[in-house]
Every structure is written in C-alpha cells, then in structure tokens.
Amino acid sequence: MHFIERTLHRSGIGEETSLPLAVRYIPPSRSLDDVRAEAELVIFLAIDDLLEKTGIAPSTIDRLVVNCSVFSPVPSLGDMILNRYKLRDDIHNVTLSGMGCSAGLISVGLARDLLRVRPAAQHEDVDGTLGMNISRNILATGANALKANFTAIGPLVLPHSVQLFYKLFLIMIKYSNGQVKQYHPDFRKAVQHWCIHPGGRPMIDKVQHSLGLSDEQMEPTRMTLHRFGNMSSSTIWYELAYIEAKGRMRKGDRVWMLGIGSGFKSNSAVWDCIRPAEEVDKAWASCIHRYPVATPTEALNTVS
C-alpha cells in the first residue's frame, strides 16, 4: 500500500483523479466484464450527452468512428453502440483499437475523411431495380487513380536509373513551359509478370495501353476473365495461378498485382518469387492446356 501510494503521488495525478475500478482492488481485478462495464459507462454517458446537446436522432447517423487505446473486445465497441442506440443497419462503422494514445486524433481525421467522400453504394433506378451506378467517365477516373497509384509505388520498384531520369524529367517540365514531351517510366524493367483486375475489356485495354504491356503480359488477365469472369477481389489470385500453371514463373521474378474497384480505388502489391509453384493450381488443372484462346478483342484486331 505504501509503494502504491508513493507511486501515485509521484505520477502527477491529483486527489480527485478518477481511476478505473479495476485498479482499486488489491490485487487488481481485470476481468472482461469489469472492463466492458467501464467502457459502457464512459461511452454511453458521452453519447447521451452529445445527442442531448445536438438534438441529433440516432437514425440519422451514417458514420460511426470509435477509438480506444487498448481494449478491443468482440463484439466491438462500435457494435456495442449500434445495439444500444438502434442505429441503422447500413451505417459505416469503424473501430480503432490497440493504437495507444494517438488514436484520438487519427479517429478525428478518419471521421473527417469519411464525411468528405461519397459512398460507393448501390441505388435503385426508376423501376426500383437495385444496382451500381457507373458514370460515363469511368475510364478517365480510372486513369487518374492508376496514375496516383503508379506515382506512389514507382519509387519502391523502379531501378534507380529510371527514378533519376524521371526526377530530371519533372525538373525539365517545371522550367520548359510545357515544351517537353510527356515521359512515363517503364515499369516493365522492374516487373516480369502482371495480375491486373479484369473489371472489363475497356479497362483492361486502357491499362495495357497506359503501361505499354504486351499481349503476353496481359494474357493472365484476359484468360482469367474468359474462364472465370470477374470474381471481384479474388480474381487476381487466379491470374497468379495462371502464370504458374503456364510455367512462366522463375525464382526472383516480380509480380505486380493491381486491384481496381469502385470509389474509384486502385491498390497495388508487388511480390518477389521465392520459389515457383510445384504443381498446377486446381482451378486451372483441367483446362490450362486449352489456353490461351482468342478473345473478342484479339479476334477483332486480327481481322482488321
């Protein structure tokens, strides 16, 4: 008791500081029920006070961001709030935990960003049919997203010589009044294989043209689209399996996975091959001998 008293005195906290119930016992009581009860007490009182001051109805809330330094129960603190206040089923619920004392500011920034962006959401048309709304400028929007993606990941994968040349190009652009021809770094010098999300033929063509990729480099994308269709985020892994099934992967090769999705979002991952797959993946085992096949785009080019 003397040691605890001396520690508290030296900590700088005052006599009126409230300590968690768990540390008021000797030895401390740290059960899950005790911690959850404390969290509910603090959080619910804060939300009750907020709703009373603002007059906001819980049913009008469409974003919920909760942060806690360490406590990360299941169900989450966000789910606990949803159940307590009967919030909407389609609410955007994010819980930050395990980030220590910095999570408060991060959660404020996250809430701000969530309020600024428009959801990638499903809507009903005039006939009441639920679906995604895709605008006519999707290719232009996608190109901008890809440009930002390449700019971010380029320094991580491009050879130093290419990076240096690109930096010199940016300096020339700055002082040339637009007289310098546009330069795009050649990512083919850094990556041997490409797994690009097959969102559709127009987008595939756009990416191929932007990166200057050959038909063989785009083959995993087009053949996966032909065989399995667009299976959302899992599709790029089928493309990786295609490359391996064709025996094209070598130790030390690099694979660039490029995910493209609604929003518009573009995400990348570059992998180094530690060792090639020893056998053909089950997805391609029974049909890999039939590929590649001519797709409609390729057949059209052949005729012309």
Q: What pLDDT digit, counting tens, does each position of 23-54 carry?
A: 777 777 778 888 888 889 989 999 999 999 99
Q: pLDDT tens across 124-153, in order?
A: 778 888 776 666 666 666 666 766 777 677
Regarding whether 166 and 99 lie in a shared domain, the answer is: no
Q: Could you tell me the two tokens for 73?
A: 């129960």
Q: Please report whether residue 189 resides in a domain.
A: yes
Indicate whether 103 and 192 sit together in one domain. Answer: no
| Half-sphere exposure in the Cβ direction for 273 (13 Å, CA) | 23
Q: Is residue 296 part of a domain?
A: yes
Query: If you search the block for the tokens 């996966």, which residue do you land on?
Result: 224
Q: Domain check: are 207 and 279 in the same one?
A: yes
Distance CA(120)–CA(138), nearest Å, equals 13
CATH code of residue 87: 3.40.47.10
Report which residue type is found at 171: I
Same domain, 80 and 152: no
In a domain, 153, yes or no: yes
CATH of residue 164: 3.40.47
- Quick one: angle between helices 160-175 and 138-157, nearest 10? 120
CA atoms within 13 A on the CB side of 275: 3
89-112 average pLDDT score: 80
Q: What is the rounded average pLDDT for all residues in the chain? A: 81
Same domain, 78 and 147: no
Distance CA 38, CA 20 (A): 7
Q: Could you give the percent of the chain with pLDDT greater than 70? A: 83
Compute φ and ψ for 178, nearest 5 degrees: 75, 15
Q: Residue 223 has which token pair?
A: 């053949």
Q: What is the pLDDT of residue 304?
A: 38
Q: 228 or 121: whose pLDDT is higher?
A: 228
**pLDDT band at residue 301 under the 50/70/90 scheme:** very low
Q: Nearest-CA neighbor of 70 among 35, 18, 34?
A: 35
Within 10 angstroms of residue 151's Cβ, the number of other Cβ atoms is: 11
Does residue 151 form part of some domain? yes
Domain span at residue 103 reads 30-116
Task: Count structural domains, the chain.
Answer: 2
> Helix 201-211 vs helix 215-228: angle between axes, to the nearest 10 degrees?
160
The answer to whether residue 131 sits within a structural domain is: no
Tokens, residue 82: 């949803």
Is residue 17 one of the residues assigned to a domain? no
Residues 277, 146, single domain; the answer is yes
Per-residue model confidence (pLDDT) at position 178: 63
Q: Please report the pLDDT score of residue 135 as a whole number.
A: 67
**Amino acid (1-letter code) at residue 35:** V
Residues 152, 297 within the same domain: yes
Asked if 156 and 216 sit in the same domain, the reply is yes
Place of tokens 């056998």: 279
Closest CA to 244 of 259, 260, 224: 224
157 and 269 in a common domain: yes
* Domain co-membership, 175 together with 267: yes
In a domain, 6, yes or no: no
Residue 142's pLDDT is what? 66
Rounded distance between C-alpha atoms, residue 119 and residue 262, angstroms: 9
Same domain, 188 and 277: yes
Rounded distance between C-alpha atoms, residue 57 and residue 62, angstroms? 11
Residues 162-186 pLDDT 10s: 777 777 776 777 777 666 666 566 7
Q: In this structure, are 102 and 225 located in the same domain?
A: no
Alpha helices (H) in the chain, listed in sequence order? 2-11, 32-54, 77-85, 103-116, 138-157, 160-175, 201-211, 215-228, 235-245, 282-285, 296-303
Mean pLDDT confidence for 97-122:
75
Domain assignment present for residue 132? The answer is: no
Tokens 């995604």 appear where? Answer: 132
Euclidean distance between CA atoms 241 and 286, whole angstroms: 13
**Helices and strands, counts by H and E, the chain:** 11, 7
pLDDT of residue 224: 93
Counting every residue, how long is the chain? 304
Which helix H or strand E contains 24, and what residues bound it? none
